[in-house]
Amino acid sequence: MISECGKVNADPAAALSETAEQFLYREADLLDRWDLQGWLGILTSDIDYRIPVRNTLMHDQPGEQYSSTAFHMVEEYASLKARLDRLKGRAAWSERPHSRMRRHVSNVRSTRTELRIRVSSNLLLFWGRGSDDLLVSCAREDVLRVDAGGMKLARRTVYLDHDLFPLPNLSLPL
Amino acid sequence: MSSIGRASSDEAPVITIPERLASIAGELDEGIVPLWIYNDPALYAQEMEDIFARTWNFVAFEDEVPKEGDYVRRTIGDDQFIVVRGDDGQVRVLLDSCRHRGAQVCFGDRGNASRFQCPYHGWIYDRQGDLVTVPHKHTAYRGMDQKSWSLVSAPRVESYRGLIFASLSESGPSLLEHIGDYRWYLDVHLGLSPGGMTLVGPPHRWRIDADWKSGSENFAGDSYHTQSLHQSILAVGLAARQAAGASGGKNDIHVTECSGHTTSIRRKDPGEVHFWGYPEDVYGHFGMDDLSPAQFDLAKRSVVHTGTLFPNLSLIHLGATHEPGSPEVAFLSFRQWKPLGPGQMEAWSWVLVPKEASESYRERAYRASVATFSPSGNFEQDDSIVWSGVARNARGVFARTSGMRLNYQMGLTGMSEAAVLSDWPGPGTVYDSNLEEGVQRTFFRNWYRNITQHGHALLGRSVK
């Protein structure tokens, strides 16, 4: 999937798809490597980031499987920056040492309108701390925006497959 | 990973739970608690029987089941219940288990139902839990008294200011007796706004490999941990130093021995108006209709309260922000540490704001709550890690056999300047300092009283 740098792909639709896909891979890599500054650098300043609480509702019940009022994270740029700034300090005890994370991004689908790209993807996160490890599974609906600085993440909603949130805490974005 | 079955031979000395508990008794008042109680299967079983099956357990907010047929699924100890409002407006707490074969009859976390149908053989119960349909009843269950096959309900359900509690015991103190003098402090949070406090969304639920008592004793008033565990919050400016920084401020107090419940309170100077950080357009609605002048004055000066209503319902009321540099916004969070097994819990958290708050205020307050006290909360992230370590350590044999004891002694007579306030207008034994651990000693004394007073059969069970 990774095309050679600078090479123009003959099929524009394929190039578009690769670009969005590559963006997600690069983003996952930044977080896996704890390059928090690098991750902040690929967000738009008006980013809307949210992880709604999932509920198990009967299918004939009004309401949403994903809450519109309760979130595990509901963030803007400043709040995400504050979270990551805190983790850089020596006293963010739950991340000393850093938890081990590997993001497996799959099933990437994208559509482009003007300078916006809508991308859907699946994410399987391996999470480990000490001898404990867990998996988190979710789908993500993103909006990427292209500006002079390149492609940036403008909107993300994370749809957890878990009803009971599986981690003892969540310090980095999904 | 228990102490049960770990003995190397039949000749190993048999240590019974009562003996192990008896050894605690004399030391609690000296502020000594053994480590093993944070992860022990026999003790957990006894807590289920002697605490959770007897006491008043918070199950839901009235706000979660406002209309007839509204329900939420909740647990009390290891039992699963449907908390449902019946056609008569009464909330019932029904065991989610069909009377025919015991199968589950409710499958949603919440919703509205006219009936609960068991998928196994099709028995159907109404919103009151009464059995209304039995397939082939007239041909195969002639003479069956349907009334005696209702869903089993918690014998006592009562609510206080929008909080619904259930007791699985027919007898015992009423809910008001259980809350006791602690009402005075609960009312400061729940009786201030004329419209009451209202929920923002369904609760957070997450799993922590830690004992329920870790959450309860921390929120009972661990004012001491903030300066170490939560110092990173101050560094990035998500909460004010007075709320999240070191204990020992001149206006900080601890309420101990308040009918077995406790609270830790940090205040502004006399005369200052703060109300945890609610802005004037919110606190302007607050009134004294339900509160005494002393309660109102306490609310006015309040910066942060934490507290635990025994056994496992905690609260935190504070101002914070999700975005450094923007004004802090106040919110009230109730959290419940639901036991899920020895050394394991499910944490639940609900966020409330005064009914008079605007939509935009609710939104900001909710964001501040997520940024501070939630599974991703910048405060709470660090708590869960510490508590897991306690449970991990408590399960070892040596942790028990070595007599490993924990120090809960801060502020015992002569150890600190903490002194009982003689002119405090509210109930409880109230210290003029939060550099003391009488709050946690209160929790453990109450826990010990509950766990030993019933002489339950388990007490005689021997454990190797």
Contact A71 B235 (CB under 8 A): no
- Is pLDDT at B4 greater than 70 in this prediction? no
Residues of A in contact with B366 (CB under 8 A): 69, 71, 74
pLDDT at B9: 44
Distance, CA of A88 to CA of A54 (rounded, Å): 30
Residues A98 and B252 sit within 8 Å (Cβ to Cβ)? no
Mean pLDDT over B333-359 rounds to 97
User: For residue B324, what is the nearest residue in chain A, using CA coordinates?
Assistant: A82
Helix axes B212-219, B380-394, angle to 10 degrees: 130
Contact B109 A163 (CB under 8 A): yes
- Is pLDDT at B271 greater than 90 in this prediction? yes
Question: In terms of DSSP bridges, do strands B70-76 and B110-112 run parallel, antiparallel, or are they unpaired?
Answer: antiparallel
**Per-residue pLDDT tens digits for B199-215:** 998 999 999 999 999 99
**Per-residue pLDDT tens digits for B35-47:** 999 999 999 999 9
- Is pLDDT at B458 greater than 70 in this prediction? no
| Of the candidates B337, B325, B208, B313, the residue with the CA atom closest to the CA atom of residue A170 | B208
Distance, CA of B211 to CA of A19 (rounded, Å): 47
pLDDT at B232: 87
Question: In terms of DSSP bridges, do strands B56-61 and A116-129 run parallel, antiparallel, or are they unpaired?
Answer: unpaired
**Per-residue pLDDT tens digits for B372-412:** 999 999 999 999 999 999 999 999 999 988 989 999 999 99
pLDDT at B13: 53
Nearest to B388 among A86, A164, A168 (CB): A168
Kind plus residue range of the DSSP H or E element containing A27: helix A12-32
Distance, CA of B315 to CA of B187 (rounded, Å): 13
pLDDT at B456: 47
DSSP assignment, residue B50? I
- Is pLDDT at B59 greater than 90 in this prediction? yes
pLDDT at A2: 40
* Residue environment code for A46-85, b if the CB has 16+ CB neighbours within 10 A, otherwise e: ebebbbbbbbebeeeeebeebeebbbbbbbbbbbbbbbbb
DSSP assignment, residue B400? H
**Per-residue pLDDT tens digits for B293-313:** 999 999 999 999 999 999 999
Contact B109 A58 (CB under 8 A): no
- Is pLDDT at A6 greater than 80 in this prediction? no
Residues of A in contact with B226 (CB under 8 A): none
Residues A99 and A171 sit within 8 Å (Cβ to Cβ)? yes
Residues B71 and B65 sit within 8 Å (Cβ to Cβ)? yes
Nearest to B205 among A61, A69, A165 (CB): A165
DSSP assignment, residue B37? G
User: For residue A75, what is the nearest residue in chain B, using CA coordinates?
Assistant: B367
| Of the candidates B389, B313, B6, the residue with the CA atom closest to the CA atom of residue B160 | B313
Residues of B in contact with A85 (CB under 8 A): 236
Distance, CA of A59 to CA of A64 (rounded, Å): 9
Taking phi over 0 as left and psi of -120 to 50 as alpha, with beta for the rest, B407 belongs to beta
- Ranges of beta strands (E only) in B310-380 are 313-320, 329-341, 344-354
Mean pLDDT over B140-146 rounds to 95
Contact B235 A91 (CB under 8 A): yes
Q: Which of A67, A84, A86 to mutate to test the interface with B (most CBs of B within 10 A)?
A: A86
Identify the bridge partners of residue A71 per DSSP, sorted by sequence position: A52
Angle value at C-alpha B450, between B445 and B455, nearest 5 degrees: 125
User: CA gyration radius for chain A?
Assistant: 17
Mean pLDDT over B346-359 rounds to 97
Distance, CA of B291 to CA of B84 (rounded, Å): 31
Q: How confident is the model at residue B462 (pLDDT cuts 50, 70, 90)?
A: very low
Helix axes B17-28, B438-452, angle to 10 degrees: 150
| Of the candidates A130, A135, A131, the residue with the CA atom closest to the CA atom of residue A95 | A130
| Of the candidates B452, B454, B175, B154, the residue with the CA atom closest to the CA atom of residue B310 | B175
Looking at A103-112, B145-154, B409-418, which range is the least confident one?
B409-418
CA distance B388 to chain A (A): 9
The sign of the torsion formed by the CA atoms of B94, B214, B211, B402 equals negative
- Is pLDDT at A14 greater than 70 in this prediction? no
CA distance A161 to chain B (A): 14
Contact B380 A169 (CB under 8 A): yes
pLDDT at A13: 52
Residues B199 and B63 sit within 8 Å (Cβ to Cβ)? yes
Distance, CA of B421 to CA of B418 (rounded, Å): 9
Looking at A57-61, B102-106, B112-116, B169-173, which range is the least confident one?
A57-61
CA distance A33 to chain B (A): 20
- Strand, coil or helix: B236: helix
Amino acid occupying residue A100: R
Longest dimension (CA), chain A: 52
Q: Which of B75, B80, B322, B328 to mutate to test the interface with A (most CBs of A within 10 A)?
A: B322
CA distance A150 to chain B (A): 26
Helix axes B438-452, B212-219, angle to 10 degrees: 140
**Per-residue pLDDT tens digits for A117-172:** 999 999 999 999 888 899 999 999 999 998 777 899 999 999 999 989 888 889 99
- Is pLDDT at A46 greater than 60 in this prediction? yes
Structure tokens, A66 = 């994903």
ipTM for this prediction: 0.89
**Per-residue pLDDT tens digits for A139-151:** 999 999 987 778 9
Average pLDDT of every residue of chain B:
92
- Is pLDDT at B12 greater than 60 in this prediction? no
Who contacts B39 (Cβ-Cβ below 8 Å, separation ≥6)? B1, B211, B342, B343, B391, B392, B394, B395
The single residue listed with the structure tokens 């909330």 is B91
User: CA gyration radius for chain B?
Assistant: 23
Nearest to B323 among A57, A78, A93 (CB): A78
Looking at A147-151, B368-372, B440-444, which range is the least confident one?
A147-151
Residues B103 and B120 sit within 8 Å (Cβ to Cβ)? yes
First to last CA, chain A: 23
Identify the bridge partners of residue B318 per DSSP, sorted by sequence position: B304, B331
Q: How confident is the model at residue B14 (pLDDT cuts 50, 70, 90)?
A: low
Residues of chain A in Cβ contact (below 8 Å) with chain B: 51, 53, 55-58, 61-63, 67, 69-76, 78-79, 82-83, 85-86, 89, 91-95, 129, 132, 163-171
Distance, CA of B212 to CA of B221 (rounded, Å): 15
What φ, ψ does residue B364 adopt, rounded to 5°? -65, -40
Residues of B in contact with A91 (CB under 8 A): 231-232, 235
- Is pLDDT at B231 greater than 90 in this prediction? no
Structure tokens, B464 = 């190797």
Peptide bond into B339 cis (omega under 30): no
Mean pLDDT over B232-261 rounds to 89
Mean pLDDT over A32-53 rounds to 96
> Model's pTM, two decimal places?
0.92
Q: How confident is the model at residue B425 (pLDDT cuts 50, 70, 90)?
A: very high
Mean pLDDT over B177-206 rounds to 96
Contact A57 B110 (CB under 8 A): yes
What φ, ψ does residue A103 adopt, rounded to 5°? -95, 120
Residues of B in contact with A99 (CB under 8 A): none
Residue B62: CB atoms within 10 A of its CB come to: 17
Residue B327: CB atoms within 10 A of its CB come to: 10
Contact A93 B209 (CB under 8 A): no
Q: How confident is the model at residue B3 (pLDDT cuts 50, 70, 90)?
A: very low
- Strand, coil or helix: B66: coil
Nearest to B235 among A51, A86, A95 (CB): A86
Residues B368 and B329 sit within 8 Å (Cβ to Cβ)? yes
The single residue listed with the structure tokens 């259930």 is B166
Residues B197 and B203 sit within 8 Å (Cβ to Cβ)? no
Q: How confident is the model at residue B243 (pLDDT cuts 50, 70, 90)?
A: confident
pLDDT at B340: 95
Residues of A in contact with B348 (CB under 8 A): none
Residue B357: CB atoms within 10 A of its CB come to: 26
Distance, CA of A29 to CA of B174 (rounded, Å): 57
DSSP assignment, residue B180? G
Residues of A in contact with B208 (CB under 8 A): 168
| Of the candidates B363, B186, B319, the residue with the CA atom closest to the CA atom of residue B261 | B186
Nearest to A73 among B324, B326, B370 (CB): B370
